[in-house]
Amino acid sequence: MDWTSLTNSPNRIGLEIVKAESAPTICDRFFSKVTIVGASAQLTSVAPGEPAVAGGRDREEDAAISVLLIEDNEADAYLVSESLANSQPPRFKITHRDRLSSGLACLSNESFDLVLLDLSLPDSDGFETFRRVRESSPSIPIVVLTGQDDLDLAIKTAREGGQDYLLKQFTGGELLKRLMCQAIERKRIIEEALKEAETRKHEFLAMLAHELRNPLAALDCGLSLLGAAACQESDREWALTMAQHQVRLLARMVEDLVDSSRITRGTFQLRRERVRPAELIERAVDTMRHFAQTKGHRLHVVVGPNLPQLEADPSRLEQVIFNLLNNAFKFTPRGGRVEVSAVAEGGELVLKVRDTGSGITPDFLPHIFEPFVQAGTTLERERGGLGVGLTLVKAIVELHGGSVEARSEGLHLGSEFVVRLPTVGADDAVGSGPSSLQDRPSLGVDGAPE
């Protein structure tokens, strides 16, 4: 596009260009004033270092998107500013610098929403230009607008945080505006994600410290009791039993963290074998039975007959059932009911754990399997845990080729977790057979049948 077609085309808005008196041509000095005749938008500037506002300096300037344009070619800079002035909203406030040094000085003194950067400048060239701007203002999104059609350079800038790499000859006003807005939005999303991750990290560290403090305090108390000269035999037995329980609690906590790390790094492995589902459920239920009794929960277990076998890691699936039961007991008040059921359905084993506990709010339900997340997390917690149990459930189930779903009607309405695992053979194949769990009565608060 040349200046004649820009100003004389009948299909474009007319432009009034007023040169600076000391400037023999427009290329010797940027433009001193450009008024878009017959349009509501206005672009005004007096020098390469002063801002141009697409949309009018005196109307809602604070709401404009602030852009630093670092471009030594004044004709290109003019065309960028003019095309943004003629584009649809949002509005842009453009500050132009024609050297990297002056651009960096501007970044250190002013606040911008985006940097539009040419890589070939009189005082810098190529990736070095991008690197220095990036180091100077790592939080500001950078869009490269250049004539260098270099795929390797484009990839390199993207890897180092560049939001886009645009070629001047293929980027018009509306496209440039859209890509700039997208770059700002991408940067905002990334920053919010990083802030959330940082918040999660600090919440987790506080949670971990809280969870470690309780068993360590109990162990310290037990050791003090054992070291007392007047320690009775009954006190000694109690202290040893308590210490064993706390050590097992710590060991499980550490193992959960190790498993979570293995899953994240992709090193979590399964030792598959033929497994009878009813036996897994029975072992997990037996492990949790004492806990249920001490918490005053009613536990009801129903396992269908002749369940087909699974090709699975038995210890990991037992961990899945244990974690689901532990979660149900943790969020169910005293006297509440926890139900476990398993049936064969369409080539799958369908395992359900349902409780009458606190339920899950609709806004939290989509995040229930995320790591280190707990509903209503505070340091004054009675339920405990690191928030990785359900994350491990989902990961282990999916590694077995299955799926897990959380359901809840809302707060105080209980919850249900449904695990589906592929079975080996048809539903009527010889598999688990009748188990001691089948037709077992519910357990009451005192552990006796209801």
pLDDT at 272: 94
Greatest distance between any 2 Cα atoms in the chain: 104
Query: DSSP for 381-446?
Result: -SS---S-HHHHHHHHHHHTT-EEEEE-SSTTS-EEEEEEEE-BS-TTSS-S-S-TTTTPPPB-TT
Residue range(s) in the chain whose domain bears CATH number 3.40.50.2300: 3-171
Whole-number Cα distances in Å, 15 to 12, 78, 180, 335:
9, 12, 25, 80
103/134 Cα distance (integer angstroms):
12
Choose the CATH number for 273-422 among 3.40.640.10, 3.40.250.10, 3.90.1260.10, 3.30.565.10. 3.30.565.10
pLDDT at 375: 61
Residue range(s) in the chain whose domain bears CATH number 3.30.565.10: 273-422
6/125 Cα distance (integer angstroms):
30
Give the number of C-alpha atoms closer than 13 A to the C-alpha of residue 29, restricted to the C-beta side. Answer: 16
Which has the closest alpha carbon to 317: 375, 274, 361, 368?
274
Place of tokens 């506002």: 53
Which has the closest alpha carbon to 54: 12, 15, 88, 20?
88
Question: Does 1.10.1060 match the CATH number of domain 196-263?
Answer: no
Beta-carbon contacts of residue 53 (< 8 Å; ≥ 6 apart): 42, 43, 44, 61, 64, 91, 92, 93, 94
Q: What is the DSSP letter of 91?
A: P
Which backbone phi and psi does 131 adopt, to 5 degrees? -60, -45
pTM above 0.85, yes or no: no
pLDDT at 65: 86
- CATH code for the domain defined by 3-171: 3.40.50.2300
Residue 66 β-bridge partners: 93
pLDDT at 206: 79
Which has the closest alpha carbon to 314: 350, 339, 279?
279
pLDDT at 136: 92
Say if residues 220 and 243 touch (Cβ distance below 8 Å).
Answer: no
For residues 97-135, one letter each, b for 16 or more C-beta atoms within 10 angstroms of the residue's C-beta and e for the rest, the string is: bbbbebbbebbeeeebbbbbbbbebeebebbebbeebbe
Which has the closest alpha carbon to 16: 34, 40, 31?
34
Residue range(s) in the chain whose domain bears CATH number 1.10.287: 196-263
What string of pLDDT tens digits covers the 450 residues of the chain? 333 333 333 333 222 323 233 333 323 322 322 322 222 233 333 344 445 544 444 444 457 888 999 999 988 888 888 877 776 777 888 899 999 999 999 999 999 999 999 999 999 999 999 999 999 999 899 999 888 888 999 999 999 988 888 888 776 677 787 888 888 888 888 888 888 888 878 877 877 787 788 788 888 888 888 888 778 888 888 888 888 878 887 888 888 888 888 888 888 889 999 999 999 999 888 888 877 888 888 999 999 888 999 999 999 999 999 999 989 998 999 999 999 999 999 899 999 999 999 999 999 999 899 887 766 544 344 455 667 889 899 999 999 999 999 999 999 999 999 999 999 965 444 445 444 454 444 444 444 444
pLDDT at 91: 83
